[in-house]
Chain A
Amino acid sequence: MGVEEAFLSLDELRVRFSDTVTIGPVSLTIARGEILALLGPSGSGKTTLLRMLAGFERPDGGTVRIEGEDVTAVPPARRRVGMVFQHYALFPHLDVGENVAFGLHGKGKAGRGRGEIVAEVLSLVDLAGFERRKVQELSGGQQQRVALARALAPAPRVLALDEPLSNLDPSLRERTRRELRQLIKRIGITAVFVTHEQEEAFDLGDRVAVLSAGRLNQVGTPEDLYERPANLFVGTFVGRANVLRGAAARALGATDGEVILVRPEQLRFGAGAGERSGLNGVVAERRYTGAAAFFQVDLEAGERVEVEAEPRAARVGDRVCIVAVRTLRLADRQGEV
């Protein structure tokens, strides 16, 4: 994407907590109306990055620009970044309407009263008429939507969401995820959200930025990350993966200092032992999931791989030959995985 398209840009952003914990430097650009997911394990620095974007953490170096304006030193109160907090941070002493109206203080928009804006934003999140409810009386999903409405009411330039779905029941999460994406797209606001779940990042984000140990590993569409991971960390953190080293890797075409990464669904049981470029082994476990089954196969080379196949493809104890449909060759970096 061209530089002129960057609506929001983080440039060489870095911060140091202690001698051992450093985050960045991270550079990222986000287009207008795009949804970017910050994905990484806990402690990878994704929340800190979001908080630097919103102004709650001051970077030691680098800049944050919104629409070309350098906002690095602008305090959160004047940055116009709407924030949805992990536990929502709804004001317990104010009702729903007062929570949503909080950010409209001193904002008399031409021809529209505050009440009108509140009603409009609440209906946007499907909570029309909830103004006088107490926030404690709402369900988790409703509280989440109030938090969203409150962040949207002052018409921010960017929406920042910190693990917006982590407080919801798993059953509710998937539906809310889709509704959230539809809503953000309908409003057309640029959004950045933090998650540690790959599925959530893929479902919600247009692009995903993968972080580990304070470093940005790769930014791309879900397909990019899954099919063309930049390194071993991304390859294993995003989706299930078998990592093969040594003899098994060499059999699949790896050279020294390389590993082979192969997804379970890209392995297949061959016709029989002795097939070309096949790996021989014994089925040790079978886990049935309905449409398919996951087979744990102990290879003769001493490693164990996972194969996703049709449930009746093999039985525990069978001697099998495994063929790889597609493999990825990645540099084997010490200390990773």
Chain B
Amino acid sequence: MTRNRGGGRSWPAGVALTLLLAWLVLYPIVLLVVDGLQGDALRTFVARSGEWRALWASVWISLASVVLAAGIGVPLAFLFEWFEFPGRKLLGSLIALPAVLPPFVGVIAFLFLYGESGFAARFLQFVFRFQQAPWHLQGAGAILLVHAYSMYVYFYLFARAGLARLDAATLEAAQALGAGRWRTIVRVVLPLIRPSLAGAALLTFMTSLGSFSAPYVFGGGFRVMTTQIFASKQNGELGVAMVETVALALVALAGLVLLRRTEGDAILAGLGKGTAPRRRALRRPLVRAATTLAGWGLAVLLLLPHATLVLVSLVPYATWTTETLPPVLSLVNYGRLFAEPERLEPLVNSFWMAAVSTSLAVAVGLAAGWLVVRRRVALRRWIEGLLALPWALPGTVFAIALATAFSVSAPAQLRWILVGTVVLLPLAYFVRNLPVTGRAILAGYRQLDPALEEAAASLGAGGWRTLRRVTLPQLKPALAAGASLAFVGALGDFVTSILLYTYRNRPISMEINAALRVNEIGVAAAFGVVLMAVSAIVLSIGARR
């Protein structure tokens, strides 16, 4: 029996952590709302029809992304979880690969592949002797293409996990009661995995609402809220940018509340205790061959962006003009990344900022885990809520909020000038990392048997020794998972960086953007490959058990 006494003597630590989180997470948002609603920016916002169009575009693009991602991800999940065919295992893990592409890198890979002068267009021009590129990769369609490609993974992974938890006996019961295959899927399977699907839908919606890279590169005249905010800030209309940010935040919160409702109760998931249905081997040779072929075709399609990036990274400057395939390939771009100091600097910057922000987020996550799960301090709901808040708001919102909060020197209000210093960007990464590390570490703490720590205490171990010898080794998988996701997120960040970077801490994504402007596509791609490779390595370390 454990007792809830509001944490006993830990309450000062609980209050301290709550205040720290409130200052970092909640306070900037409050300042943003207060500052944004002063002056006539609100009136300007309401009067401009472009603002409303952008807001509506954000909403419908996000909803369409959910539908597209579900349409691709859910059938794939059924295929890989329920059927057995040659190469299933390998394909099943390849298919999650879009996840290792940081958003901005994925977008430029798409540009190189499907853009007007990309491989696909050049190939068709070559085959059919077109005079011009057969299409423009621009506008809502292009954005949706990128979103569908990068976000179906959420549905695929969540639905697979849900299907794996199903109890085979439930499905057999439905069949014994006379339900056919479709009826079983519609009436039994889908309702049972609804929490997984709702989780994926929520994640997809929030990610597309905050998506900046795709609309920034492919949007053209088509504006969504994130690019609208960026444009306002570039035009010096800071007040309007703030109002736009508040509007985007409201849409995000509304989406969160509405989609949370559909998640339903977890009682359904809690029932399943049996084993998952056995995979059915596809026996008919034709079906088997077609499935295998389609599977491999899909894998190639999914890996094309990665391959494109590698290929373009091997193209030296100004050697590729009208040819279908680049005529010269060399490693010169990679040499330039490390030999030219102004290229090396962004690499170093991104690494130190990702490392520092991740370490801080892990430290806060550990403190939160201890206070919330072990000490059960009175403010634990606040701590959990504040940790999760940055996840509920798009990156643009937080970037603008932090820029607002730390653009004045008012120590009495706990505000200092950080805009223009190297501190602000890693601080923003840290705040953005809090939900993912906090969630992983809290979950790890909850799975930890409190008896282990008590056993250590009964054997004479003090607080630090218990933490070092028992708690941390047990939390290692959770720490690795949370830290690796946070590190990869910070390393490849584009949306926060573009709003908050200074020349002295410019990260890799800004350097890629700059290289693209001057047509140094080889260097841009080489940076992309480095990001992709490091992300894959870090994520695989984090996923190891």
**A 62-104 contacts with B by CB, 8 A:** 75-83, 85-87, 89-93, 102-103
A103 to B456, CA, bound (A): 8
Residues of chain A lying within 8 A (CB to CB) of residue B451: 85-87, 89
Residues of B within 8 A of A93 (CB): 473-474
Interface size for A (C-beta < 8 A) is 34
Residues of the B chain whose Cβ atoms lie less than 8 Å from the Cβ of A47:
1
**Contact present for A154 and B459 (CB under 8 Å):** yes
A51 to B458 alpha-carbon distance, docked (Å): 11
B3 — which chain A residues lie within 8 A by C-beta?
15, 17, 57
How far, in Å, is B444 (CB) from chain A's closest CB? 14
Closest chain B residue, CB of each to CB of A160? B458
- Does B504 make an interface contact (CB < 8 A)? no
Interface residues of A in 149-171 (CB under 8 A from B): 150-151, 154
- Residues from chain B with a CB closer than 8 A to the CB of A77 are 457-462
A135 to chain B, nearest CB (A): 12
Q: List 24 A-B contacts (CB under 8 A).
A: A17-B1, A47-B1, A51-B1, A54-B458, A56-B454, A58-B8, A75-B457, A77-B459, A77-B461, A83-B455, A85-B455, A87-B449, A89-B449, A89-B451, A89-B454, A89-B455, A91-B452, A91-B470, A91-B473, A93-B474, A103-B458, A103-B461, A105-B459, A154-B459
Chain B 433-471 interface mask (CB, 8 Å, partner A; 1/0): 000000000000000010110111111111001000110
Beyond A17-B1, A87-B451, A91-B473, 7 extra complex contacts between A and B, CB < 8 Å: A56-B457, A85-B455, A89-B455, A91-B455, A102-B456, A102-B469, A105-B461
Question: Of the candidates B449, B454, B465, B473, which one forms a contact with A83 in the assembled complex, judged by CB atoms under 8 Å apart?
Answer: B454
Point out the residues of chain B lying under 8 angstroms from A90, CB to CB. Answer: 455
B interface residues with partner A (beta carbon < 8 Å): 1, 3, 8, 449, 451-452, 454-462, 465, 469-470, 473-474
B508 to chain A, nearest CB (A): 36
Contact partners of A85 in chain B: CB under 8 A = 451, 454-455
Least Cβ–Cβ distance between A221 and chain B, in angstroms = 28
- Per the bound structure, the CA–CA distance linking A275 and B299 in Å amounts to 91
Q: Which of A17, A47, A80, A81 has the most CB of B within 10 A?
A: A17
Tell me whether B455 and A78 are in contact (CB under 8 A). Answer: no
Residue of B nearest to A45 (CB): B1
Any chain B CB within 8 A of the CB of A296?
no
Query: Is the C-beta of A48 less than 8 angstroms from some C-beta in chain B?
Result: yes
Which residues of A275-319 have CB atoms within 8 Å of chain B's CB atoms? none
For residue B36, give the distance in angstroms from its CB to the closest CB of chain A.
Answer: 46
CA distance A79 to B458 in the complex (A): 8
User: Nearest-CB distance from A148 to chain B (Å)?
Assistant: 12
Q: Measured between alpha carbons, how far is A20 from B452 in the docked complex, in Å? A: 30
Contact A103 B1 (CB under 8 A): no
Kindly state the separation between the CA atoms of A17 and B452 in the bound complex, as whole angstroms: 23
A151 to B457, CA, bound (A): 11
The 5 A-B pairs at the shortest CB distance, nearest first, are namely A103-B459, A89-B451, A83-B458, A76-B457, A89-B455
Kindly list chain B residues whose C-beta atoms are within 8 Å of the C-beta of A105. 459-461, 465
A43 nearest in chain B by CB position: B1
B454 & A76 in contact (Cβ 8 Å cutoff): yes
Please, what's the 1-or-0 string for A22-61, where 1 marks a CB less than 8 Å from any CB in chain B?
0000000000000000000000000110010011111000
CB distance from A36 to the nearest CB of B (A): 18
Complex contact B473–A154 (CB within 8 A): no
Name A's B-contacting residues (CB within 8 A).
15, 17, 47-48, 51, 54-58, 75-83, 85-87, 89-93, 102-103, 105, 107, 150-151, 154
Q: Which residues of chain B come closer than 8 Å to A75, judged between CB atoms?
A: 457
Residues of the B chain whose Cβ atoms lie less than 8 Å from the Cβ of A48: 1
Evaluate contact between A76 and B458: CB separation under 8 angstroms: yes
Complex Cα distance, B473 from A85, in Å, reads 20
Of A51, A56, A57, A81, most B-chain CB atoms within 10 Å: A56
Using Cβ atoms and an 8 Å threshold, which residues of chain B touch A58? Answer: 8
A57 to B2, CA, bound (A): 8
* Residue in A closest to B470 when the chains form the complex, CB atoms: A91
Nearest neighbor of B458 in chain A, beta-carbon distance? A83
Query: B2 CB to closest chain A CB, in angstroms?
Result: 9
**Cα separation A107 to B459 with both chains bound (whole Å):** 11
Find B474's partner among A55, A92, A103 (CB 8 Å cutoff). Answer: A92
User: Which partner residue on chain A sits nearest B4 by CB separation?
Assistant: A17
**B460 touches which one: A51, A86, A87, A103 (CB < 8 A)?**
A103
List the B side residues contacting A80 at CB < 8 Å. Answer: 460
Candidate in B3, B456, B459, B461 with the most chain A CB atoms within 10 angstroms: B459
Q: How far is the CA of A107 from the CA of B3 in the complex (A)?
A: 33
**Nearest CB of A to B457, in Å:** 4
User: Which of chain B's residues have a CB closer than 8 A to the CB of A150?
Assistant: 455, 459
Give Cα A77–Cα B470 distance, bound, in whole angstroms: 14
* B458, A81: Cβ atoms closer than 8 Å: yes
Q: Which of chain B's residues have a CB closer than 8 A to the CB of A81?
A: 458
Residues of B within 8 A of A92 (CB): 474
- Bound CA span A82–B459, Å: 7
Q: Which A residues are in CB contact (< 8 Å) with B8?
A: 58
Q: Shortest distance in angstroms between B451's beta carbon and chain A's nearest beta carbon?
A: 4
A54 to B451, CA, bound (A): 13
Q: How far is the CB of A260 from chain B (nearest CB, A)?
A: 36
| A278 CB to nearest B CB, Å | 48
Q: How far is the CB of B448 from chain A (nearest CB, A)?
A: 11
Kindly state the separation between the CA atoms of A78 and B461 in the bound complex, as whole angstroms.
Answer: 8
Task: Give bound CA distance, A58 to B469, whole Å.
Answer: 25
B469: nearest residue on chain A (CB-CB)?
A102
Give the docked Cα–Cα distance between A20 and B525 (Å).
Answer: 67
Nearest-Cβ distance from residue B11 to partner chain A, whole angstroms: 15
**Complex CA–CA separation, A129 to B454 (angstroms):** 27
Give Cα distance in the complex from A88 to B4, angstroms: 24
Docked Cα-Cα span, A57 to B454, in Å, equals 11
B460 cross-chain contacts in A, Cβ below 8 A: 77-78, 80, 103, 105, 107, 154
For residue B374, give the distance in angstroms from its CB to the closest CB of chain A. 12
Complex: how many Å from CA A131 to CA B220? 68
Whose C-beta in chain A lies nearest to the C-beta of B456? A102
Q: Which residue of A lies closest to B459 (CB)?
A: A103
With both chains docked as a complex, state the minimum distance between the C-beta of B509 and any C-beta of chain A, in angstroms. Answer: 38
In the assembled complex, the CB of B107 is this many whole angstroms from the nearest CB of chain A, namely: 42
List chain A residues, Cβ under 8 A from B449.
Answer: 87, 89
A154 contacts across to B, CB distance below 8 A: 459-460
Nearest CB on B from A331, distance (A)? 30
Least CB distance from B288 to A in Å reads 39
Q: Check A151/B456 contact, CB under 8 A, given A17-B3, A89-B449, A105-B465.
A: no
Judge whether A151 and B458 touch: CB under 8 Å.
yes
By beta carbon, the residue of chain A nearest B463 is: A77
Bound CA span A90–B465, Å: 16
Distance in Å: Cβ of A10 to nearest Cβ of chain B: 17
Closest to B453 in A: A89
Does B457 lie within 8 Å of A82, measured CB to CB? no
Least CB distance from A116 to B in Å reads 18
Measured CA separation A89–B448 after assembly (Å): 10
A-side contacts of B469, CB under 8 Å: 91, 102
**Given the complex, which residues of A lie within 8 Å of B462, measured CB to CB?**
77
Return chain A residues, CB-CB under 8 Å to B1: 17, 47-48, 51
Chain A residue nearest to B451 in the complex (CB): A89
A51–B3 CA distance with the chains assembled, in angstroms: 12
User: In this complex, what residue of A is CB-closest to B465?
Assistant: A105
- Chain A residues contacting B470 (CB-CB under 8 Å) are 91
Query: Which chain B residue has the least Cβ–Cβ distance from A78?
Result: B460
Minimum CB–CB distance from A61 to chain B (whole Å) comes to 15
**Closest-CB distance, B544 to chain A (whole angstroms):** 15
Q: Report how far A55 CA is from B470 CA in the complex, Å.
A: 19
In the assembled complex, the CB of B487 is this many whole angstroms from the nearest CB of chain A, namely 24
How far apart sit A83 and B461, CA to CA, in the bound complex (Å)?
13
Query: In the complex, A57→B1 CA distance in Å?
Result: 9
Alpha-carbon gap, A83 to B454, bound state (A):
9
* Most-contacted residue by chain B among A47, A51, A91 (CB, 10 A): A91
In the assembled complex, the Cα of A72 lies from the Cα of B455 at a distance in Å of 19
- Please measure, in the bound complex, the distance between the C-alpha atom of A100 and the C-alpha atom of B462, giving whole angstroms: 17
Instruction: Point out the residues of chain B lying under 8 angstroms from A82, CB to CB.
Output: 458-459
